[in-house]
Amino acid sequence: MWTCRRVSPIYIWVGETELLTAHQVMAKLSYPNSALELTRVSSHVTVTPLADNDVLDRFVRLSSGDVYRKREADVTFVVGFNGNEFDCHRAVLAAYSKVMNNMLYGSLREAHESRIKLEDFDEEAFAAFIECVYTGTLAVHMSFICNLIYLCDYYDVPCLVQCCCSWLHDNLVVDNMCEILKFASSFEISYPQFYKRCFKRIEDRAASVFITDGFLEHTTAEHMEKLATSNQLEATEIQLFEALRRWTEHDKRRREQGSRVAKCIRLPLLTPDQLRGPVSESNLIDSNAILEALASMEDTSECFTNPYQPDSPHITLRGR
């Protein structure tokens, strides 16, 4: 369970002359005291992980209760491909989000419309967002968590974005790490710690991540190169090379990118058999570079020999 607090109150304009706090706005809407205490414009947000419950069903149940008073709603959002409708209160949404405030009370077209279409947003994500606005509880599920983060970022609610990112990071598994990292890269500027934490998890589980389908599908060329140059990678050099080879062969358009990343492979950490076998056969690394590495190994072996295991392979982790 995560919590986040809004440091300063949000003020919104009502009409042209009256500046009110969110609490005052809710009082004007005749909210019951219990509801006012519960929402407080998300001054205290509780994130509750959701199992397999349908968020839309939860919202329907919520909308029929005392907390969410549908009969007083003054704007309807028509969301997603199926056009699910969400009856809301302009004042409550405006108090929660500056972007919503500008949209609903500014000079935009939506300020004069009673029905607003949002076709680009996911219905479940929007339902979870609205539920959090009215109850202070944010129910999340892996099926729509990324869409929810996009939505919260779009409406400039950073506390919810950070809560969602924390939940997503804590639910990373080897099968989805690369997909989540790809998603996190789009927020690298706004939320750099989220991206760094995701990348660190991949470094720590690199050997296991490399053999997943998610690695082949979702790893970008930029991330592949970053992994190849990492000094904290918990994988052997041959595991890294095999991952690069599989990644390149998965999409023939990656051939040029794969050859560029292959220059980051540390050939001295491979064995002569590995260099002559899979590395040479892949055609990803220049043959002259392979010959130079082999020659260097021969020169080194004349100076340093192990009488007990003369042909022992190199087992070196980059992270150690």
Angle at 260 between CA 245 and CA 226, to 5 degrees: 80
Which pLDDT value is given to residue 139? 85
Task: Output the pLDDT for position 190.
Answer: 85
pLDDT at 92: 85
Look at residue 40 in the predicted model and tell me its pLDDT.
30
Copy the structure tokens of residue 244: 């690069």
Asked whether 265 and 228 are in contact (CB, 8 A), the reply is: yes
Place of tokens 């998300």: 42
The tally of domains found in the chain comes to 2
Last residue of a domain, one of 171, 189, 206: 171
Query: Does the global pTM surpass 0.85?
Result: no
Count Cα neighbours of 288 within 13 Å in the Cβ-side half-sphere.
0
- Regarding whether 152 and 24 lie in a shared domain, the answer is yes
139 and 182 within one domain? no
Statement to judge: residues 183 and 167 lie in one domain = no
Q: Which of 148, 171, 194 is the last residue of a domain?
A: 171
Pick out the chain residues at pLDDT < 50: 1-53, 64, 66-68, 304-314, 320
Of 86, 94, 26, the closest CA to residue 62 belongs to 86
Residues 82 and 137 in one domain: yes
Please say which residue of 137, 171, 205 terminates a domain. 171
**Tokens standing for residue 54:** 């349908």
Asked if residue 206 and residue 139 are part of one domain, the reply reads: no
Give residue 316's pLDDT: 56
Same domain, 217 and 119: no
Domain extent at residue 125: 2-171
Please state the separation of Cα 147 from the chain's center in Å.
9
Same structural domain, 104 and 205 = no
Which pLDDT value is given to residue 65? 52
Q: Given this model, what pLDDT does residue 319 score?
A: 59
